[in-house]
Amino acid sequence: MTKSACFRVDPRLTAILGESYSSSERALRELIDNAWDAEATEVHVTLPDILSDAPIIVTDNGSGMKEQEVRTEYLNIASPRLSRKGERTPNLLRVVKGRRGIGKFAGLILAETMEVDTKAHGARTRLMISKSALLSAAKDLEKVPLPIDVESCPPKEHETVVTLRNLNQNLNFPKVDKLREILAYDYGRETDFVILVNGERVFRHDIQGQTFTKDIPLPNGGTAQATYTIAEKPVPGSKAGIIVRVGGKSIGRPHLFGLEHDEMLSDRLKRRVVGEINLPPDSLELTAAGGDVIESDKSFEHLANVMQNEVKQSLTETHANEVNLAKARWIQMMSRRLENVPEYRRVIVEDRLNKLISRSYQEGEKEERITVLVSLVLDALELDEYWTVCREIQEAEKVDVFHFADALEKFGLCDLAFIAQQAKRRLEFLDYLDRLAGDPKTTEQQMHRALQRNLWVFGPEYSLMASNEQLQSIVREYTQEHYHGQDAKDRPDLFLAGNILKQHLLIEFKRPSDAVGRDAEAQAKKYADTLAGRLGMSLQIVVIGGEVDPKLQDEFTGKKTSFAAYRTVIATARRQLDWLIDQLNRPLN
């Protein structure tokens, strides 16, 4: 005799569905999606300060719900608005985003208690959902009682307020910037749906650049519509890439469809890609919460292959066009400047300049900076007497030793002239660096950037080994070993190769407005312990800031740790250059 069996819905299902969201911000986005489906025109999201006891509050001016709707629709698990009311909302004809009927549990990943306070048709309904009460219940989910209160309100009032209290301290609090970024992808360009996070409206500003569009047929019979822009300049890494939308809702993170691993394209070039692909509802197989595509989906695999080729071709064409236009703009200047250059040198100069322009554009340099680089190269090649002297050396080598020695002397004179010119330019650099160090608004990162390519300031013997790289990366590069210590992901500011005695230098930067002392030394010593132990080298430490703490006692500093002020280092470098110029100006005996 055949009998029947039934599913039982364990209350823990609420936790499983809530935890399917990859971040706090993405869980909150579900509540904004609900407001969209309720035809709200304005949503206010209030996020508390970190470690605050204040709740998260999401308020929308949508249609709200009557008590019966709360009971039969909102609390009906896996009953999406789409199946109940169709593809579009009744009045504003928006594409419905609630397609799985589980978004209501998004708040329970963030909070112990979720309160839904909604007004519609003269009634105010308040529903309380306790996460711990659901998880501790031994009965079927359908039999867990949820407190609900109903009272009258003015008939014209309609809104829904979701309040999340007792936030989960095991999770990072939602970040304002990250939430705004996620919401901007879906709603930043909507004109009739305003979102404010902590009082500031969410926007998605238009990207300037060359736009491409393409319709991509899918194996399942659907069609994807791709629209993307190669921006005029790189955008922040978190905003670059192409968003995939299914039924109007963004799915997962922005994609580059494998181009992120293409070594032929620079990172700056890849960060110029911004766009979206729109697919019909249910055209891709999604995860339970609808937040990402299942990796083995055939349609998405086909879409990724097509988009990888299309985007790479667009990037290559755009880059080539920009380089050609740039060369055309500079060709007149190059022609005028190269008129007096011998033919055999002109070919070399043109080749070098073409390579310089191509590389600079690929790396995303600004046009004004490329113009400066081109001018510097032309100046150097026009004024550089090495060309003539080296040619004399080659010819004299074939004649006799006297002519050869005379040519070598000329080479030395050119070398001295070049050193003198370089020393004067370095003095100009020190003037600018001194001005930067004297500005109280200057950050340690700005001083770091200014000095990491001008290591001669610290002394002629140093060369760069690592700048702001993780300790594990430094150890792997120089020893081919893997380092997994607790500080493996820490980043020393500057790590420099030193002199023939293998003494290396570790530099810790602080703000020019801050005094340096023992606290900064402690951080640097932790880096030094790891590097010296793993790389087997002698290592000096310099902590540099606005001034040295006057309380420091020299006898306690230690032989391998020193403290310095930016202006002291600059003054020392200036004295060395002044001495060098003075020596070069002295007549030979």
Q: Count CA atoms within 13 Å of residue 105 on its CB side.
A: 25
CATH number of 435-580: 3.40.1350
Q: Which of 112-121, 295-304, 427-436 has the highest mean pLDDT?
A: 112-121
Q: How confident is the model at residue 152 (pLDDT cuts 50, 70, 90)?
A: very high
Is the pLDDT at 151 greater than 90? The verdict is: yes
Q: Which of 24-33, 232-241, 395-404, 560-569 has the highest mean pLDDT?
A: 24-33
Domains 206-382 and 435-580 share a fold: no
Interval 381-431: pLDDT, tens:
555 554 555 555 555 555 555 555 555 555 455 555 556 667 777 888 888
- Sequence ranges of the domains in the chain: 13-201, 206-382, 435-580
Chain centroid to CA 555: how far? 44
253/260 Cα distance (integer angstroms): 13
Overall CATH class of domain 206-382: alpha beta
The mean pLDDT of 101-128, rounded to a whole number, is 86
pLDDT of residue 556: 46
- Geometric angle at alpha carbon 580, from 576 and 585, rounded to 5°: 150
Is the pLDDT at 446 greater than 80? The verdict is: yes
pLDDT of residue 268: 80
CATH number of 13-201: 3.30.565.10
Interval 295-312: pLDDT, tens:
788 899 999 999 999 999
The mean pLDDT of 44-54, rounded to a whole number, is 86
Q: Which of 4-8, 244-248, 307-311 has the highest mean pLDDT?
A: 307-311
Q: How confident is the model at residue 294 (pLDDT cuts 50, 70, 90)?
A: confident
In this structure, are residues 212 and 310 in contact, taking their beta carbons and an 8 Å threshold? Answer: yes
Q: Give all strands (DSSP E) within 379-502, no chain letters.
A: 463-467, 494-497
Q: How confident is the model at residue 138 (pLDDT cuts 50, 70, 90)?
A: low
Of 238 and 405, the structure prediction assigns the larger pLDDT to: 238
For 296-327, the DSSP string reads T-HHHHHHHHHHHHHHHHHHHHHHHHHHHHHH
**Three-class secondary structure of residue 444 per DSSP:** helix
Interval 528-566: pLDDT, tens:
777 777 777 777 888 888 888 777 755 445 557 788 888
Q: Which residues are 124's β-sheet partners? A: 119, 151
Token pair belonging to 196 = 């404010």
Lowest mean pLDDT among 43-57, 134-148, 152-166, 387-401: 387-401
Backbone angles phi, psi at 436, to 5 degrees: -65, -45
Lowest mean pLDDT among 56-70, 152-166, 326-340: 326-340
pLDDT of residue 498: 63
Lowest mean pLDDT among 93-107, 414-428, 498-512: 414-428
24/31 Cα distance (integer angstroms): 12
Write down the mean pLDDT value for the chain.
77
Interval 314-346: pLDDT, tens:
988 887 887 777 667 666 666 666 666 666 666
Question: If 0-12 CB within 10 Å is exposed, 13-18 middle and 19+ buried, where does residue 3 land?
Answer: exposed
Longest dimension (CA), the chain: 120
